[in-house]
Structures are given as structure tokens and as C-alpha cells.
Amino acid sequence: MGKITVGVLFGGQSSEHKVSLKSAHTIITNLDREKYEPILIGIAEDGKWKLYDGPLEAIPQDTWEQSDCTPIVLLPDPSQHGLLKTVGGMSEKIHLDVVFPVLHGKNGEDGKIQSLLELAGIPYVGCGVLSSAMCMDKDVSHRVVKEAGIRVPESIALTGAISEEQLAKGMTGFNYPVFVKPVSGGSSYGVTKVEEESKLMAAIREAQKYDMKIGIEEGIDGCEVGCSILGHGDDLTVGEVDQIVVTNGYFHIHQDMFKKTGLENASIHVPAQLPQVVQEKIKDTAKAIFRALCCTGIARVDLFLTPDNEVVFNEVNTMPGFTSYSRYPRMMEAAGISVTEITDHAIQLALENAN
């Protein structure tokens, strides 16, 4: 029996393009080569798809486009099940058994690439179209999770041009600080902690650089915690809970600036420095959120923990980072699960779900 061909998608049209390159390098180098044959598919920032066959180290260095690239297209016909490569007027089809879309943010985690793969009839790792779209939109995901009986931060969502009058009406009942963020964003891009009303409009303009729909959320007292989840339905594996300790300001990651740690103002404890009973409560809440949002495969559920140990939903990342400093693989590794085991389980689950 031959190896399973895995199309690894990386790059993409997103503010998290460079993060994706680092994550993809981790996935590619940890694939079990006795079982899987990776087909490397880069998506340039202008949206062009390219088959890559160069040195792997060029991917995280963002120099991969400089050589060994061939233009390709994904065939939407499900009977073809793969890519079309054209060189010198000659076309060649490349079969894909499954796709691992290591894409972060817009056009990667929002259901668009998932829809394309569904049309092409190709199984893929991670959440489906609906789940990806819900999780990417923080306003929608908060509404769904709240309906499931789990506390979410009080918030408002605003779209397009925002007047002072509209803002004043929407902010009735809010106390500062608040957090302004793009509703569909990641890696903390465009997020601002606002301490006073006079700085609110500037924070909104910053968030709108990344998404015209923005959210304003109440600040939650306490710390941030997270759970890495792998599986489907009732069969879920949860890594160790992590806990973020902020030294100043608030937790935010600028992964392209802080290459070694990804952190500017915080440290992360894995496992969390919390009583076991509290950690189990966090895990149970994360699993309930995972199911409420119809997640499957892999996802990181981010939460707040208040001083009285109430768990509050923050967001779900349906394709979490796999860089050297990313939280998802660190939580799994703390539970004794390697990246190779994660990729194997996720790929097999994608193939099983397709059947």
C-alpha cells in the first residue's frame, strides 16, 4: 500500500501569513514519512497557488517563492481529487488524499478554504465550513456559546462607519478598561486595551485596519487560560491547561517580531499553576465549547479564569499556531503527545470523517 499524499497548505492572504510559514514548517518536519508523502502548496500574499519543491528551511524564512515553485490550481471537480500543474504547455494532475490547511486568520480559518476543499471533494484536517466561520467571528461564537449556558464577556459589535452618537449609545453600561478588537482576527493584531473614553475611537480605527466589523468587550478580572483539543464528538483528547501570567499591560503576541518566544509582556505556565479541580473545570468547559461550535480535529480554546474560579469564554482558534513558541503544541507535549502524534491523529480523523 502506498503512502498517503498530504497537501500541506501554507502562507495565504492574511495578516498571519508569516506565522503560517513557521507553523507549516513544524507540521511538515514532524510528519511521519513512512506513512505520509507531503505535497507542499504555498499560497502567496497575492493569492497565487504554487507547488513548492525547494529546501524546507526557506519556508519559515519566507524565501520559498524565490525558487522551485510551479503555478498550480486546485481542481473543483470532485472526480479529479487534486491539483493541476502546467509546465511548458503540458498539464499534469497531482492526486491529493487529504489536505492539511496550515493557514491562520482570514481566508484560512474562516470557512473559505474549507468550502473550496468541500467542493473539490478532498478531505481536510480541522473544523468544517460552518464551525470555521462561527469560530472566526468572535461576535457569532460568543452568541452561540452564551446560548449553551457558558459565560462570555459583555460586548457589542459594530460595522462600517461608526459615529460618536452610535458609539455613546452602544457603550452605555460599560466600565473601563475595555478591549477593542477585530471580530475576525488573530495573533492579537489590531487589539487594544482602552483605559479611557478619549482613546476609544483611535482603538476602533486600529482594529478596522484588520476587519470592518469590530468588537468592544468588557475587561475580565483574572487570568487567561487555554486548552488544546484533538478529536471529534465525545472522543476528545485535551492537553494540559496553560496559564498566562502578564507582567504588564495585557497578553498579546506579535509573532513576527519576537521570534524566539513570541511574547513581549507575559509568561506562560504549562501545566497551569492551579488546583487540579479547577483545571478539570477548565477542561470540561473547553470541551463543551468545542462541541457547541461544532469543532472537529484540532482547536485551541482560550478562556478567562476569574478570581472566584469562574470560567469565561474568550475565543477558539480552529488552526492554532505550531511555531516553536505556540501554545497548542506545548500543551499537548506537556500531556505526552508529540507533534508527530497530533498530525497523525488529525489526518486519520479527517480521512475517517470523509468516509
Catalytic residue among 16, 132, 184, 240: 16
**235: Cβ–Cβ under 8 A, 6 or more apart, which residues?**
none
Under 8 Å between Cβ of 269 and 245: yes
Residue 219, annotated as binding a ligand: yes
Contact 103, 10 (CB under 8 A): yes
Check whether 338 is labelled as a binding-site residue. Answer: no
Residue 333 appears among annotated catalytic residues: no
**CA triplet 302, 306, 307: central angle to 5 degrees?**
145
The answer on whether 187 is annotated among ligand-binding residues is yes
Do residues 23 and 16 lie in contact, with contact meaning Cβ atoms separated by under 8 Å?
no
Q: Is 315 annotated as a binding residue?
A: yes
The residue annotated as part of the active site, out of 14, 23, 141, 326, is: 326
To the question of whether residue 181 is assigned a binding role by annotation, the answer is: yes
Annotated binding-site residue? 227: no
**Residue 155 counted as an annotated binding residue:** no
Assign 116 to helix, strand or coil. helix
Assess whether 240 carries a catalytic annotation.
no
Question: Is 184 annotated among the ligand-binding residues?
Answer: no
187 catalytic residue (yes or no): yes
Tell me whether residue 240 is annotated as binding: no
Strand ranges inside 123-218, DSSP E: 155-159, 178-182, 192-194, 213-218
Q: Is 138 annotated as a binding residue?
A: yes
222 is in an annotated binding site: yes
Question: Any binding-site annotation on 185?
Answer: no
3-state helix, strand, coil in the chain (%, to 5): 30, 30, 40
What's the CA gap between 207 and 199, in Å, rounded? 13
Residue 48 marked in a binding site: no
CA gyration radius, the chain? 20
Dihedrals phi, psi of 168, to nearest 5 degrees: -60, -40
Was 322 annotated as part of a binding site? no
From 14, 20, 184, 187, active-site residue: 187
Helices (H), 39-128: 112-120
Residue 92 annotated as part of some ligand binding site: no
The answer on whether 228 is annotated among ligand-binding residues is no
Q: Does 317 appear as a known binding residue?
A: yes
What span, in angstroms and rounded, lies between the C-alpha atoms of 215 and 72?
37
**Is 180 annotated for ligand binding?**
yes
Catalytic site residues? 16, 187, 326
Name the binding residues for Mg(2+). 302, 315, 317
Name the binding residues for ATP. 138, 179-181, 187-188, 217-224, 314-315
Name the binding residues. 138, 179-181, 187-188, 217-224, 302, 314-315, 317
